[in-house]
Chains A and B, each alone.
Chain A
Amino acid sequence: MTTTAHDIQAEAHDHGHSHAEHHGPRGILNWLTTTDHKIIGLSYTITSVIMLVIGGALAEVIRGQLANPDGHLVTMAQYNQLFTMHGSIMIYLFAGPFAFGALANIIVPIQIGAPDMAFPRLNALSYWLYLTGAITMLLGFFVTGGAANFGWVGYAPLSDAIYSPGAGADLWIGGLMLTGFSAIFTGVNICATVFYLRAPGMTLFRMPIFTWNLLVVSILILLAFPVLTAGLIMLYSDRHLGTHIYTVVGGGSPVLWQHIFWFWGHPEVYILALPFFGMVTEIIPVFSKKPVFGYKGMVFATLTIAALSLGVWAHHMFTTGVVLLPFFSIMSLLIAVPTGIKIFNWIGSMWRGQIWFSAAMLFSIGFVVTFLIGGLTGIYLASPPLDFFTHDTYFIVAHFHSVVMALVLGGMAGLYYWGPKITGYMLNERIGKVQFWLLFIGTQVFTIPQYILGLQGMPRRMAIYPNDPQWQDLNTWSSVGAIMIGISTLLFVINIVVSWKKHPAGDNPWDGHTLEWFTTSPPPHHNFFRLPQIRSERPTWDHNHPDAKALAHGKDAH
């Protein structure tokens, strides 16, 4: 077996065009007309991080209001808009697009040795639909009546034209339609890229786990998002065209909206989570100087999570009294098994490794710990008697914030890990570590009081609460945690400014395993000048360490 790199020009794929330099429009026109997945991915990254900052700013106002039992920072009506738009921005405009549009767009084609996404123009369209969808939703703040205020789940009948008149609600629906189509197109694109543009020798079972997870996420997107879009069209039609699909008055059913919403909504939480699972699965082995522990188990766990996630949606509807409790409870509990396999394998990947506690690695470990807390409390919620007790309390808020803050930690890990590849320059490690500790400790200080508050019965989505000294203390602690999280996000922005074009990264600063570390930083137009021979899931490592190859992977490889 030979590991010499063979000269295959990525440009050879692009017939008639044989220069590494790409001659296209420059400046703003370049941004508007680009079909390069790396530039599109970077636009996605920047836009979604801006959304994180906007959503975070709203959250700080919410926590400011709740720092006192009868806060007067905002009115009750404004509070409703605040939590609705905070949730909507974070889930629809930050977490989703960041998960499958940002780093995924840049990294997936490179990890499988592809010159671009399969449908570059469609990829550009995805970004424009995402950007315009985000603008549409945010426009709500500037119309009379203000932004949507019925919670990010838009439950009927609260979201109908009688209870929520005004343009804000319609802008919310319109924005979701645009971002929904954007997601669907990204799903199509990633599936096609992974199915058709892999490099020679890159069999499915040699793909990096990050790419695997994005393939599965794309399949989930294709299954889930059309349902949401259909549901939104029906909601709009109820509001303006006189239908009664979700209203009892005309013979419709409000619970139908919940079924439709959560049939999208629970797969969505895995659409959000799996890409971050993938990121830390790339990072932990690299910084432990070991191959990933249990590669096939990881793939199997991802597929099982996806398969089960389509059959658990009504665990969000236990208290409606009209869903099949045992079915949804059993299915939800089963998801803990593949998730447990993943946690086990992450620990296995670190076990006895030479661990390098870089910022990316710290964020990854923080992800595992925080996600474990969120996952364990999820198991409690999957049991109907416990859910009856905690539904619509701060316990729920704490549960999903453990989960989603874990995703923020994972996302930061990804940015510190791949940032040098994308920009060509390192991020400052020391600021990164301070940022990590603030974010990690802040997250726990923020959520743990909420778990306790929830168990004591504090309802969610309330602008004021009874003047009980213990509740006040717990809420103040939670607000302190929120401020720590806010500062850590600012540190990230500062880090970008401080390390702007300071320390060139080189092609492979972390001694990475996968193909993106084989090409230059940033990669050339169409990604590769040459590719190594691919014989395992770690082609770059094999090439750089001929004496310590990963065991050949896949049937009769030699």
Chain B
Amino acid sequence: MRVEAKILLWLGLFFGIMCAVYWTWSMENAGGVMMFFGTGLCLLPGSYYYWWSRRMGPRAEDDPNATQESGAGYVDAFPGSSIFPFTLGMGAFCIVLAMVFGSWMLIPGLALVIWAALGGIAEGRRGGTR
């Protein structure tokens, strides 16, 4: 975990320096603001990972001498299949089309999104599909 964190932190540091140089030199705000938030977008998860990496030992995937057995066991539940991504996608599609073809398309759009949200949560509660 530590290396992952460091990559983000180094990137953030680089962006931070670049942002400072650019903003003071150019006095142009649009780019300065975007670079500033870019810096934050690296430092924020980077420091979170770093904080975590200090609280846990190296995982099997961080250990160069790990054997395959050391990682055996439960990793996560992966769904076999689910209809809700499709429903949600179609809902988003209708909502975007509503921007162009009229707000009536919001009705099927929002209906699909709500169905996907409720169905997806219920599916998650059941522990996913097989």
B37 CB to nearest A CB, Å: 8
B86 CB to nearest A CB, Å: 5
How would you classify the secondary structure of chain B's contact residues: helix, strand, loop or mixed?
helix
Q: Which residues of the other chain, A, contact B42 by a CB distance below 8 angstroms?
A: 219, 223
In this assembly, does A15 line the interface, its C-beta being within 8 Å of a C-beta of chain B? yes
Interface residues of A in 93-124 (CB under 8 A from B): 115-116, 120-124
In this assembly, does A352 line the interface, its C-beta being within 8 Å of a C-beta of chain B? no
Which residue from A24, A310, A554 sits with its C-beta under 8 Å from B80? A24
Q: Which residues of the other chain, B, contact A222 by a CB distance below 8 angstroms?
A: 41
A431 CB to nearest B CB, Å: 36
In this assembly, does A54 line the interface, its C-beta being within 8 Å of a C-beta of chain B? no
A491 CB to nearest B CB, Å: 34
Cross-chain contact B30 with A259 (CB below 8 angstroms): yes
Q: Which residues of the other chain, B, contact A200 by a CB distance below 8 angstroms?
A: 60-61, 63, 66-71
Cross-chain contact A12 with B35 (CB below 8 angstroms): no
Cross-chain contact A203 with B34 (CB below 8 angstroms): no
0 or 1 for each of A530-558: is its CB under 8 Å from B? (1 = yes) = 11111100000000000000001111111
Q: With A121-B82, A204-B3 in contact, do A197 and B97 touch (Cβ < 8 Å)?
A: no
Which residue from A5, A177, A306, A331 sits with its C-beta under 8 Å from B11? A306
Q: Which residues of the other chain, A, contact B64 by a CB distance below 8 angstroms?
A: 201, 203, 206, 535, 552-557
In this assembly, does A416 line the interface, its C-beta being within 8 Å of a C-beta of chain B? no
A372 CB to nearest B CB, Å: 26
In this assembly, does A227 line the interface, its C-beta being within 8 Å of a C-beta of chain B? yes
In this assembly, does B56 line the interface, its C-beta being within 8 Å of a C-beta of chain A? no
In this assembly, does B9 line the interface, its C-beta being within 8 Å of a C-beta of chain A? no
Nearest-CB residue, chain B, relative to A33: B81
0 or 1 for each of B81-112: is its CB under 8 Å from A? (1 = yes) = 11111101110110011011100000000000
Range of interface residues on chain A?
A: 35 or more
Q: Which residues of the other chain, A, contact B49 by a CB distance below 8 angstroms?
A: 195
B113 CB to nearest A CB, Å: 11
Nearest-CB residue, chain B, relative to A167: B100
Cross-chain contact B68 with A199 (CB below 8 angstroms): yes
Q: Which residues of the other chain, A, contact B1 by a CB distance below 8 angstroms?
A: 195
Q: Which residues of the other chain, A, contact B70 by a CB distance below 8 angstroms?
A: 200
Q: Which residues of the other chain, A, contact B77 by a CB distance below 8 angstroms?
A: 14-15
Q: Which residues of the other chain, A, contact B99 by a CB distance below 8 angstroms?
A: 170, 173-174, 236, 240
Number of interface residues of B (CB under 8 A): 62
Binds B, one of A57-65, A128-136, A379-387: A128-136
Q: Which residues of the other chain, A, contact B28 by a CB distance below 8 angstroms?
A: 259, 322-324
Cross-chain contact B11 with A178 (CB below 8 angstroms): no
Q: With A132-B93, A178-B92, A307-B14 in contact, do A32 and B71 touch (Cβ < 8 Å)?
A: no
Report the Cα distance A107→B59, complex, angstroms. 23
Which residue from A8, A15, A174, A310 sits with its C-beta under 8 Å from B68? A8
B65 CB to nearest A CB, Å: 6
Q: Which residues of the other chain, B, contact A534 by a CB distance below 8 angstroms?
A: 66
Report the Cα distance A530→B69, complex, angstroms. 11
Which residue from B25, B34, B85 sits with its C-beta under 8 Å from A227? B34
Cross-chain contact B71 with A8 (CB below 8 angstroms): yes
Cross-chain contact B74 with A310 (CB below 8 angstroms): no
In this assembly, does B55 line the interface, its C-beta being within 8 Å of a C-beta of chain A? no
A50 CB to nearest B CB, Å: 18
Cross-chain contact B92 with A263 (CB below 8 angstroms): no
Report the Cα distance A175→B99, complex, angstroms. 11
Nearest-CB residue, chain B, relative to A124: B85
Cross-chain contact A201 with B79 (CB below 8 angstroms): no
Nearest-CB residue, chain A, relative to B86: A32
Report the Cα distance A331→B79, complex, angstroms. 45
A186 CB to nearest B CB, Å: 13
Which residue from B18, B41, B67 sits with its C-beta under 8 Å from A311? B18
Q: With A178-B92, A307-B15, A310-B15 in contact, do A35 and B25 touch (Cβ < 8 Å)?
A: no
Q: Which residues of the other chain, B, contact A198 by a CB distance below 8 angstroms?
A: 61
Cross-chain contact A17 with B130 (CB below 8 angstroms): yes
Could you show 8 A-B contacts with beta carbons less than 8 Å apart?
A: A32-B83, A33-B82, A35-B80, A116-B78, A200-B60, A201-B60, A240-B99, A557-B65
Interface residues of A (CB under 8 A from B): 5-6, 8, 12-17, 22-25, 30, 32-36, 115-116, 120-125, 127-129, 131-133, 135-136, 167, 170-171, 173-175, 177-178, 181, 195, 197-206, 219, 222-223, 227, 236, 240, 256, 259-260, 263, 303, 306-307, 310-311, 313-314, 322-324, 327, 331, 526, 530-535, 552-558
Give me 5 other A-B pairs in contact (C-beta within 8 A), A128-B86, A200-B67, A204-B3 excluded.
A129-B93, A200-B70, A311-B35, A324-B26, A554-B64
